[in-house]
Amino acid sequence: MPIKIIITENFEHMGEIASIIIKDNIIQTLQKKKEFVIGLATGNSPTCLYKHLARMANAGEFDSSRIRSFNLDEYIGLPGENVQQRTIHPESYCYFMIQEFFGHLVNKFIETTVPYGCLIDQDHLIQELEGHPDDWRELGTDAGKSIDIIDNPVSEYLAWIRKTILDGYSQKIKDIGGIDLQIIGVGGRGHVGFHESGIPFDGSNIMLVKLDDSTIKNAVIDGHFPSEKDSPHYAISMGAELVYKAKTVVLLATGERKEKAVAESLLVDPTPNIPISYGQKYSEKGGNLIYVVDKIAGRELFANKMILEQKGIEINILQKTSN
């Protein structure tokens, strides 16, 4: 299907337009099947969207009690002495989803699932990786790496991570029939979830990721953690290949920091250096990909409007109507 780009006035307008697209998709899908499966992202970009979706659900515009959700990613290494403390840590993505979306719904989802990163003790993980170097390999060309655990590793802890944390999450998505609509944001270097720049597309299912130095630094710069030492250095994440198996993918981007990555994802050939560029392959295979961006994040897209239209990509610029 052709990739669609919608350029909106600002952050608020982006969330409003995206919520209408997603609501319509939910309604149409629930006319054909019993449940709707939605993939969710964290970060600043979807917060306005979640506000609108919660309002629509509570107003009865769609039935949130017929929805299941799966989140893209979760940190490993959040402060806390045990699983419970890590899960409810203010910087956990589980906590984020409750604060920004789940907690605002009158009729709750059937089930909400976040990758099981909080079950992993980061110190234990590092100890096992260092003690069993033959049990795993690093995949990627930059500082951020996918930690690929081999079949039948010697380390029981790494074997448990692969079977329960990684394969278990992937199998749960598969058993439910896959994701109907996936919401994604954009990292400054074009990463999706914690699929860092340079990690290969092939086999990027549910991944154990060693985070890129820039990801760790940005988490501190953005005020999430007091120092790089306190910031998690690992995460669990859907990879681009899995993200783009959803029937529809809605990509959100706002602000100047996202401008270059958003443009390059469509103007250059697909490359693991820009993980969201996998969307081009997804579209060629019939996937329904929609970019909803504000006019700042979309500046370079608009500047290359003719090139994109020659590639069959639709661009619409929406003006926000006053009430």
Distance CA 100, CA 46 (A): 9
pLDDT over 70 at 266, yes or no: yes
Question: What are 254's two structure tokens?
Answer: 């706002």
Sheet of strand 73-76: strand arrangement: 73-76, 234-238, 206-210, 145-149, 136-139
d(CA 233, CA 291): 30
Closest among 221, 240, 224, 242 to 232, alpha carbons compared: 224
pLDDT tens, residue by residue, 17-70: 999 999 999 999 999 999 999 999 999 999 999 999 999 999 999 999 999 999
Q: How confident is the model at residue 319 (pLDDT cuts 50, 70, 90)?
A: confident
Class for domain 4-239+255-317, per CATH? alpha beta
Cβ contact 266:306 at 8 Å? no
**Contact indicator for 111, 40 with CB cutoff of 8 Å:** no
Strands 136-139 and 145-149: antiparallel
- Residues 82-99: what's their mean pLDDT? 95
Contact 72, 39 (CB under 8 A): yes
Query: Residue 266 corresponds to which amino acid?
Result: L
Tokens of 198: 């340079």
Per-residue model confidence as pLDDT tens digits over 188-238: 889 999 999 999 999 999 999 999 888 898 889 888 899 998 899 999 999
DSSP helix/strand/coil, 30: helix
Q: How high is the pLDDT of residue 61?
A: 98
- pLDDT interval class at 323 (50, 70, 90): low
Determine contact, residues 153/135, Cβ cutoff 8 Å. Answer: yes
Q: Are 260 and 222 in contact (CB under 8 A)?
A: no
CB neighbour class for 188 (10 Å; exposed up to 12, middle 13-18, buried from 19):
middle
**Tokens 């003790």 — which residue?**
121
pLDDT digits (tens, 9 = 90+) for 281-308: 999 999 999 999 999 999 999 999 999 9
Is 238 in contact with 195 (CB distance < 8 Å)?
yes
The string of pLDDT tens digits covering residues 117-174 is 999 999 999 999 999 999 999 999 998 999 999 999 999 999 999 999 999 999 999 9
What token pair was written down for 85? 């403390």
Residues in the chain: 323
β-bridge partners, 147: 138, 208
**Roughly how many angstroms between the first and final C-alpha of the chain, as a whole number?**
34
Phi, psi angle pair for 190, to nearest 5° = 85, 15
Does pLDDT of 322 surpass 70?
A: no
Q: What is the DSSP string of 5-19?
A: EEEESSHHHHHHHHH
Stated pTM of the model: 0.96
Q: What's the per-residue H, E or C state across 194-232?
A: CECCCCCCCCCCEEEEECCHHHHHHHHHCCCCCCCCCCC
Q: How far apart are CA 37 and CA 246, in angstroms?
A: 9
One-letter amino acid at 100 equals E
Q: What is the pLDDT of residues 100-121, one digit of tens each?
A: 999 999 999 999 999 999 999 9
State the sign of the Cα–Cα–Cα–Cα dihedral 24, 252, 53, 321: negative
Q: How confident is the model at residue 273 (pLDDT cuts 50, 70, 90)?
A: very high
Interatomic CA distance for residues 64 and 85, integer angstroms: 28
